[in-house]
Structure formats: C-alpha cells, structure tokens
Amino acid sequence: MTSKLKTRWAWTLSTFFGAGYLKPGPGTYGSVAAILLWYAAAHAFVPNRTTLAIATTVAAVVMTAIGIPASTITSREAATEDPGFVVIDEVAGQLFALILLPADWAHAALGLVLFRLFDITKPGPIRRLEALHGGTGIMLDDVAAGLLALLAAAVITHFVPKL
C-alpha cells in the first residue's frame, strides 16, 4: 500500500519522469528512455568516442548517486522493498552498459539486449546485491548488470568489429 505522502523529487526521479508507470515491463521502458537520451545527446553534441564515454560514465555515476536516496525514499513511502515502478536503477545500469559503445542504433540495441539479459537473469553475485538495504540494493544490482553488459559488449565488439 502506498502512503499518501510522496516526496515529489524522489518519486519523479525514481520513476524516471513516469517511465516506471508504463506497462508491461517498466524496467525495459526505463532502459529505452536512457538509450534515447544517450543517443539524442550524442547526436546533438557530436562528441568524439572518448568524450562520449566520459560523459556517459559521468551520467551513469550521477544517476546512481541520485538513484540511491530517491529509490530509498520511494520504496519506503510505497511500503515495498523494490517497487517495479522504480526504474532509475535501469537507467543507471543501462548507461553503464553503453559507456564504450558508439552512438548508433546497432550498438544501442546490443547494449539494451545485454543489459536487460543480465538485469533479468542476475547471474552470479549480482543477485546478492539485491539483498542490500533500501536504495543501495535497488541500484547496485542493476549497476552490476550494466557493468557485466559493458564487459560483454566490449568482448563482442572486439570480435565483431563491423557490428
């Protein structure tokens, strides 16, 4: 049951401006929103690959830093440990997955598929991160999934350079 009192900034950011309310699969909508913003920024500012990687890293870290308190507050006010409508964790994780990828649709799709695969299956120690308290657990399992997707994408693009 959701409490009547909502901390507006926390709910706005944790649902990533309402993307978390979309059905079905709010996490996928959060990931797609991150990709669309990343792609738009990359094409609006036309950075070189290094600058894009740095900017994406900064954005991922900022989303994580903001996401921990925002998702902690939202989950507490919603009286749910890890509400499905909280998608800022998918936004941060997706950004981590995109760090080394060029800003084109083929690589964006690769980053999306890999991140969602690792986010949904939560292999190895990623699942244990969910057990951390509050927003830390909500955020860090997706950050780990994003880092694993980043590693997998780097390996794939090394062996399939014409992706």
Q: How far is CA 8 from the centre of its chain?
A: 21
Q: Would you call 111 exposed, middle or buried from its count of C-beta atoms within 10 A (0-12, 13-18, 19+)?
A: buried
Give the residue extent of every domain in the chain: 8-16+23-159
Q: What is the Cα–Cα distance from 19 to 94, expressed in whole angstroms?
A: 14
Residue-wise pLDDT tens digits, 27-60 = 999 999 999 999 999 999 988 999 999 999 999 9
- Name residues whose C-beta falls within 8 Å of residue 128's C-beta, 6 or more positions apart in sequence: none
Residue-wise pLDDT tens digits, 1-34 = 455 789 999 999 999 999 999 999 999 999 999 9
Helices 88-98/105-121 angle, 10° precision: 130
pTM of the model: 0.94
